[in-house]
Structure 1
């Protein structure tokens, strides 16, 4: 090897060596920097926590102006370091003029900072400032948004504030904010109230049946007796929507299952009227004995309607004889609710019918399988697993896909 080639190789070696050393030093410095930064952040967080706790203790034991001023300074130190509870405490001092002069503007700014960190109390206090117009321009919609965030964080007084805003109808929106968010979170009373609001015919505004039906049906599915009765009455009277006796009977039956006296009396009266109608249809012929009452066989009529895929009519017939606990009737009713074959379909109703069914036919595997499918749809996996296991014990094979979905 020539001396020149040796020098070239030596230079390449030194370049690689220097590059390797540089990489190692860079990595080491980066690690030290990250470690130091993390350490500094921890120290800062600890300082913020300590200062806040000292401020709380100072405020608790305060008896003079000087004591409150000292608490204010400790809160200020902690708030400056980003501690949200200290920001709230300092904001309250500014808002109430404790340990410092009253300054609503600074209070609002501190509440906003804490709110951005998810502090529910800060959201509530800032909402209060917006509602009163202290330090910020009065804005009821902004107040409602703050109260909603506080409510979502389970701050105890937020719901009262939202109810107050709703009661005074301060918002321009057509939805009562608090009630709407409750309804969206599956609160049946809020759903009923929303539906009732849209159905209100006392105001000059024309009833909004589409929205009213949407919320009332949700409430009815959540077993709100009030919603079931209101839907029944609406279909019975036919003022807002076309009269539909079958749907009216359906909702009265749902309410009756929850022991509603109004529904029970209505159904009793309907039965009486049907009996009177049957007597009027009494035939006096050679084939029919004198004064024999011709009655409708609701089970047979229900099966006929079912086979013709006229589900609403079938359901109305089956419901009329559901109290007799005919197992076939119970199964038909359960399937209609389970497979969403009727307008008032409700998985809870399907469960009730199927529970009655398997009490009679304890060995029918399909009843258990249907219950398993319903609970799986409701994402109640432990209940679904139980009923699928029972179904397999009684002879129905559950697919691997279903078992996999339960893991």
Structure 2
């Protein structure tokens, strides 16, 4: 009986030791994953800062390469920087299509400056048809994303838009802006009239 008890105690102690070892190992792997994520983000921040410094030194081609690499990896600040560079011609010619593309990519990640920059394009009609409603919608997004300076623009545009016509729909990363046409009229018809009108 004593022998069995010693074996059981030994097994219990061994089990507790192995359990605590595996908990430490799991904890270490979680810490390692967090450290890797932090290191990765620090690396992204470091590369972004390097690109920004190159840009500030008028080394646009070198800055572009780093911004593009980061943007392709999904970094919203780099996507906004690319859009800004295309808008102002730092990457060659002014290219509003690419500017809008990169601003929209950054907006998908809630980058406030990209929303502000795109709003500005619509407000001024630079590279796009001037549209105060869309400008207002994008300034609203910029404010919602944390850029308080957008509030001033919202106040400036307040008298130029019908806010009831502007809808911002968010579903996860998907953002849709809908502008209702106030000149269009709603028609109420029953199914039979609808089918006749649509040739069915």
**TM-score bucket of the superposed structures, by smaller chain:** 0.5 to 0.7
Which residue of structure 2 lines up, in the alignment, with residue 21 of structure 1? 17
Asked whether the equivalents of residues 121 and 127 of structure 2 are also in contact (C-alpha less than 8 Å), the reply is yes
The count of aligned residue pairs is 160
Give 1:127 deviation, angstroms.
2.5
Match of 2:147 among 136, 153, 156: 153
Which residue of structure 2 lines up, in the alignment, with residue 163 of structure 1? 156
Gaps of 5+ in 2: 167-200
Q: Does 1:59 align with 2:55?
A: yes
Give 1:143 deviation, angstroms.
3.5
Q: TM-score, normalised by structure 2?
A: 0.59
Give 1:112 deviation, angstroms.
0.6
Which residue of structure 1 lines up, in the alignment, with residue 3 of structure 2? 6
Q: Root-mean-square deviation (CA), in Å?
A: 3.8
| Inter-CA distance 69–14: structure 2 relative to 1 (3 Å threshold) | same
Which residue of structure 1 lines up, in the alignment, with residue 104 of structure 2? 109
Which residue of structure 1 lines up, in the alignment, with residue 196 of structure 2? none
Secondary structure of 2:164 counterpart? coil
Secondary structure of 1:173 counterpart? helix
Asked whether the equivalents of residues 133 and 139 of structure 1 are also in contact (C-alpha less than 8 Å), the reply is no
Which residue of structure 1 lines up, in the alignment, with residue 38 of structure 2? 42
| Inter-CA distance 81–28: structure 2 relative to 1 (3 Å threshold) | farther
Give 1:111 deviation, angstroms.
2.9
Give 1:43 deviation, angstroms.
1.9
| Inter-CA distance 22–134: structure 2 relative to 1 (3 Å threshold) | farther
Return the structure number with greater relative CO, CA threshold 8 A, min gap 6: 2
Asked whether the equivalents of residues 85 and 99 of structure 2 are also in contact (C-alpha less than 8 Å), the reply is no
Which residue of structure 2 lines up, in the alignment, with residue 390 of structure 1? none
| Inter-CA distance 139–13: structure 2 relative to 1 (3 Å threshold) | farther
Once residues 76 and 39 of structure 1 are traced to their aligned partners in structure 2, the CA distance between those partners, rounded to angstroms, is 25
Which residue of structure 2 lines up, in the alignment, with residue 173 of structure 1? 164
Q: Which has the higher strand share?
A: 2
| Inter-CA distance 82–127: structure 2 relative to 1 (3 Å threshold) | same
Asked whether the equivalents of residues 103 and 115 of structure 2 are also in contact (C-alpha less than 8 Å), the reply is no
Match of 2:82 among 90, 93, 102: 90
Q: Which has the larger radius of gyration?
A: 1
Q: TM-score, normalised by structure 1?
A: 0.32
